[in-house]
Amino acid sequence: MSDYRIGPQPLASFLFFDLSAWRGHSASAKSHLIKSLAVLPLRNVSGDPAQEYFADSMTEELITDLSKISALRVTSDVSSVRYKNSQKPLQQISQELNVNAIVKGSILRVGNRVRIFAQLIYPTSDSNRWAQSYEGDLQDVLTLQSSVANAIASAVQIKMTSEEMASLKYARSVNRKALEASLEGRYHLQKWNEQQFRARKEVSNDEELSKAII
C-alpha cells in the first residue's frame, strides 16, 4: 500500500489559501462592527394621527434604553427626530449622523394592544442584521420596549456590564392611564421645545441680518 504524504509545496499552498480566507473573513467582520447607531422615529401605522405622540414617545424610550449601554454611542432623539418621514437614503443619514448602523421600525396600537416592529440595518449595504416584532398589552409596553432594546444589543454584539444587562431585562408594568398621560405630556413638551428652538434660531438669524444691513 502506498504511503500518501502531503509534500511541502502543497502544504504551503494550502496554508496560504487558508490564511487568506481567514483574513478576508476577519476584515469583513471588522467592517461590520457596530459601535454607534441611530434610532429613526418609529412610524405610526395605526392609521390614527392622534397616536403620533405614542410612536414618538416609544422612539424616545428606545433611545433611552439603548443609551444605557456605555460601549455603544447612540444618537440623541433631538438629532434623530429630524429624519421623521425623511426620504433620504439610509447611507446618507448614517453619514450625516456619523453612525455605523440604523434602527428603524413601526408601531401599531389598536385599543390596549401594541405591536412594535424594529430592524437593525447596515446602511452601507442596506442589509438587515436583525428584525423582529413584539406584541403585548399597553400596560406592558415598557417591557416590550426593553425587549426590543435587549434584542438590538444582542444583535450588535457589544460588550455590556452585568448592570447594563439587568437594566435592559427589567420588566415594568404600569397603569395604562398614567402611562398615556405621561407619554402625551412628554410629547407636547418636546414639541414645545422644538418650537422654541426654531423661534430662537429665527430671531438670531434676523438679528444677524439686521447687523449685516446696518
CA separation for the pair 21, 53 (Å, rounded): 50
Q: What is the pLDDT of residue 166?
A: 84
Q: Which segments within the chain are labelled E, that is strand?
A: 36-39, 43-44, 73-74, 101-110, 113-122, 127-137
Q: What is the pLDDT of residue 143?
A: 85
pLDDT 10s digits, 84-100: 999 999 999 999 999 99
DSSP string, 57-75: HHHHHHHHHHTT-TTSEE-
Q: Which fold has domain 33-174?
A: Rossmann fold (3.40.50)
Higher pLDDT, 180 or 146: 146
Q: What is the pLDDT of residue 208?
A: 55
Q: Where are the domains of the chain?
A: 33-174
Answer yes or no: are the C-beta atoms of 179 and 115 closer than 8 Å: no
Instruction: Please say if the pLDDT value at position 81 is more than 80.
Output: yes
Share in percent of the chain as helix, strand, coil (round to 5): 55, 20, 25
Half-sphere exposure of 72 (CA within 13 A, CB side): 31
Distances in whole angstroms, Cα of residue 211 to Cα of each of 198, 201, 205, 207: 20, 15, 10, 6
